[in-house]
Structure 1
């Protein structure tokens, strides 16, 4: 907790500094206008990434860290590094101001900004690797970091455009502010998330690869390089004619965006297949009821189970279903990694912990999940009121407790998880 508090305090300080620098650079009125306009796409983008991550939600600390890193630390680094890079180009190559701007946007900005945003993924990979369980996690965390970065950057760009319009007395419709808002907020709100998603995919591949696999270093490096190439191509297209800019937008940006969206949905469906494939062994051992793997592998069934639990148990029941599905999903991913020959060093302890969390909630959850998985059950089964949580019967063997296995058992040799019998 101390380290977490210190980290977020440092990020908050970075946020205060970067906002103060931007306000000083463009003025208070321009800053406020830029802030209001830049924040408009942020809730939608955050909602989209969190929805995509709904199968196996990332810990809130990772989510908040990724966004605040992009909005605060990455932008602060990029602001000064981009300025230094522009000065270096001007002095080294005796470039004109126009050449400096073009070369800086094409070569310096992609290197600096994708490195600054990608640092969030690197830190999560180094210190929170166990929570990066699929490609979806990489896309989501990278997208959140880039969304935060784009938010702060848009304040600067939109605010600067507003300051220019105010000085020139431009009309609202025919103004740099409207053009900047249209391009950066309406037309390409996905640009920064798209670039950094390449880095996120690379780190996700590394996190799910064998420790000595070449992909452990090659995938993040390749993703980072691809992010810079896309970023540089996009920045350079802004210097072309309107036709050239639209050509790059239609021929490159939209297809790549569509490909990443397809990959995200494919990875999301693969997460559900992982649940469906790896949880039956726990049902066979008595930890889950037989219908549960089917229900947990369906987002529709999960929603139905939450609604059923809410109807009979209130919000505490719905919350129990949400927690139960999250723990069961992480258990499936843990088991899948071990089945691929990559068991976590603390596999036994983590498995026992997740099973313990499931066991604590099973009296509230198993009946709603069973109904969601098998809606064709005779109505008489569901006619009687649900038992109160404290009166609900217990199913399955007792939790491991202190008798957890000391080593991982292969799926084919899975033993009963505890000495307890069905009650």
Structure 2
């Protein structure tokens, strides 16, 4: 674990004192109580329905409404199979959502935004793809001579363009209406992955239903889509999301929009290559694309390595989030706002679980206060990271101050229970 001494190794005394003076100037509450020394309990905040929250409730309602329409369409087309095939479709959905939870656990995104993403993928993206994809196929049929050519157009051009573009609309909506919750590549991937997972869930119901005429057909389809490639749509859309998140780190609108559009182009190309790359790669390997094992060879040689590379990159982003928490809260610890034990607890997952277990054993109120303390302290760390990266943001100190106030409130609530929480070993 990083220590304050190791972080300051290369700083001169003058620079260190200047940094601490700026931090204290930005945190006028310096001298606030530690978890064990606070004596008063802050009043419980009443949750208000802000305009931003109302906007997201309306957008979520719109996405849910479209999802209900998709459910009705599925039942009209597939009848009872739509319900039965939704059960195996939950398997890849659960895998993706579990991965998103793990990757995003250090500073989780708001649930309402993740819910919007899921329903946007399962409903709005499907509706948008049916409309735009149908229009593209109608145009293609007027220019292409055979249905075989139209089929190739659908796989290599229409599907990647229409699907990735409509899914990306959901990401840009989150960027526009919830910008302060969208400021890192991992934020972008988290939103994109749930959109992709929602879309794949609906798509899998259709594929599984079509393959259910025979047990072998269903089994092979489930293995390919549910076991071997459950993350495909999450990764395609994730490229767009990470590009938007990377551009959003430094503020402004031009950078995240342009980078997002660039990411969308890459996502479309990746989707097209995933669909039809075997036609290019297998001949280079001396394998006939019509070989019954050709798809497996392409999967092992191309698709699986790409997935593992992206998974490695995402784990690095996950680890970076933890280091941001430790480093930025370490600066607050240097200024007297946190103890080293608190920073160690917040920056270590097992220590967090230990603290949550202690608080839960005390009372539901203590449990809420501890979880709020850890959550808002993590948000404080990322607010400070944002202020460090984007020095032109006029609201960066306001957000820090607000997070500090909330941390102080949670700490005061915890102090009312007469203890500083469980002891956490530091290293």
TM above 0.5: yes
- 2:102 aligned residue: 51
Q: Is the 8 A contact 1:62 1:124 kept in 2?
A: yes
Q: Which runs of 4+ in 1 moved over 6 A?
A: none
TM-score by length of 2: 0.79
What's the counterpart of residue 378 of structure 1?
A: none
Aligned pairs, number: 362
1:353 correspondence with 2:353: no
Q: Give per-residue Cα distances to partners, 1:71-106, cap 9 Å, x unaligned.
A: 110011112222222221111223x11221111111
In structure 2, what is the equivalent of residue 335 of structure 1?
A: 384
The corresponding residue for 2:8 is: none
1:368 shift after superposition: 4.9
Q: Secondary structure at the match of 2:252?
A: coil
**Compared CA separation, residues 344 and 301, structure 1 to 2 (3 A):** farther
- 1:327, 1:358 within 8 Å by CA — same for their partners in 2? yes
2:56 match: 4
Of 334, 342, 359, the residue aligned with 1:292 is 342
TM-score under structure 1 length normalisation: 0.79
Name the CA distance, whole Å, in 1 between partners of 2:196 and 2:300.
22
The answer to whether the Cα contact below 8 Å between 2:86 and 2:205 also exists between their aligned partners in 1 is yes
The correspondence of residues 337-416 of structure 1 with structure 2, limited to 5 A, is 337-342=386-391, 344-363=393-412, 365=414, 368=420, 371-374=423-426
RMSD: 2.3
Match of residue 229, structure 1, among 269, 279, 284: 269
- Alignment of 1:88 onto 2:88: no
Measured after TM superposition, the shift of residue 186 of structure 1 is 1.9
Is the CA contact (8 Å cut-off) linking 1:302 and 1:369 kept in structure 2?
no
Match of 1:23 in 2: 75
The structural deviation recorded for 1:18 is: 1.5
Conservation of the 8 A alpha-carbon contact between 2:344 and 2:426: no
Equivalent in 19, 32, 39 of residue 83 of structure 2 = 32
Q: Do 1:309 and 1:321's aligned partners in 2 also have CA atoms closer than 8 Å? A: yes
Are residues 210 and 9 of structure 1, via their aligned partners in 2, closer, same or farther at CA, if it must alter by over 3 Å?
Answer: closer
Q: CA deviation at 1:343?
A: 5.2
Higher relative contact order (CA 8 A, sep 6+): 2
* C-alpha separation in 1, matches of 2:127 and 2:173: 17
The runs of 5 or more residues in structure 2 that have no matched partner are 1-52, 280-288
Distance 1:24 1:355 in 2: 53
Change in CA separation of 1:317 and 1:373 when aligned onto 2, cut-off 3 Å:
farther
> Partners of 2:182 and 2:253 in 1: how far apart?
18
Are the equivalent residues in 2 in contact too, given 1:309–1:364 (CA < 8 A)?
no
Q: Identify which of 188, 197, 202 aligns with 1:152.
A: 202
What does residue 111 of structure 1 align with? 161
Contact 1:305–1:368 (CA<8 Å) still a contact in 2?
no
The equivalent residue for 1:279 is 329
